[in-house]
Chain A
Amino acid sequence: NAGVTQTPKFQVLKTGQSMTLQCAQDMNHNSMYWYRQDPGMGLRLIYYSASEGTTDKGEVPNGYNVSRLNKREFSLRLESAAPSQTSVYFCATHLGVSGTGYYEQYFGPGTRLTVT
Chain B
Amino acid sequence: GQQVMQIPQYQHVQEGEDFTTYCNSSTTLSNIQWYKQRPGGHPVFLIQLVKSGEVKKQKRLTFQFGEAKKNSSLHITATQTTDVGTYFCAGTYSGAGSYQLTFGKGTKLSVIP
A interface residues (Cβ-Cβ under 8 A, vs B): 31, 40-45, 48, 50, 56, 58-59, 90, 92, 94, 96, 101-110
Contacts and interface: CB of A to CB of B under 8 A. Distances in A.
Interface residues of B, number: 23
B31 A106 contact: no
Interface of B: 1, 6, 9, 31, 33, 41-45, 48, 50, 88, 90, 97-101, 103-106
Given A42-B88, A101-B31, A109-B42, A58 B100 contact: yes
B45 A42 contact: no
Contacts, number: 54
Contacts of A58: 100
A103 B101 CA distance: 11
Given A43-B103, A58-B100, A94-B99, 16 more contacts: A40-B9, A42-B104, A43-B43, A48-B98, A50-B97, A56-B98, A90-B43, A92-B43, A102-B48, A102-B50, A103-B99, A104-B45, A104-B48, A107-B44, A109-B41, A110-B42
Contacts of A59: 1
Contacts of B1: 59
Given A48-B98, A59-B1, A94-B98, A105 B45 contact: yes
A110 B103 CA distance: 17
